Each structure stands twice: as C-alpha cells, then as structure tokens.
Amino acid sequence: MMADPNAPYGYDPQGRPYSDKSKIVAGILQLFLGYLGIGRFYVGSVGVGIAQLLTCGGLGFWALIDGIIFLTSNDRTDAQGRVLRG
C-alpha cells in the first residue's frame, strides 16, 4: 500500500489528513513561549501569533488557555486545515 502524497501522515478517524505539526509541541511552545506567540507561529497561524506577540499572550492568560487547549483537543488544525498529530 502506497502512502498518499496529499496526506503523508495519514488520516484521522473522520477522514481528515494529519498535519506534519504536533499538538504536543504546539501546546508546550504555547505554555512556555506563548507570550511571544511561538506556538501559533509553529502551526502557521501568523496573524494570531502576531496578536499574541503584541499583547504578551493576552497578559499570559490567552497563551496559557491556548496551550492547554492545544494539548487536550483533538480538533486543532494547522494553517492548511490539517489536524495536528498527537
């Protein structure tokens, strides 16, 4: 069976392609460097990353909540709409 070039990491149970980005890496980056928007830049959400950078991650609250959601959610996606891998 050959790998799908459109989804090199496979598909989730709902048939959505997996991203090359990890939700664990994104979550940890958000928890520790979220005040700089690093977790958002990692997944390709440049606009939100800039907003977090300019607001110091919503004074830390936005970054903390965002990091926790990245780690616990199975529906977070990257900039191309692909589901983050676990």
Give the C-alpha separation, 66 to 76, whole Å. Answer: 10
What is the pTM (predicted TM-score) of this model?
Answer: 0.87
Domain extents for the chain? 18-85
Question: pLDDT 10s per residue in the chain (86 long)?
Answer: 456 777 788 888 888 899 999 999 999 999 999 999 999 999 999 999 999 999 999 999 999 999 999 999 999 999 999 999 98
Q: Residue 33, Cα to own-chain centre: how many angstroms?
A: 13
Find the length of the chain: 86
pLDDT of residue 12: 87
Which token pair is 73?
């959610």
Which token pair is 17?
């392609």
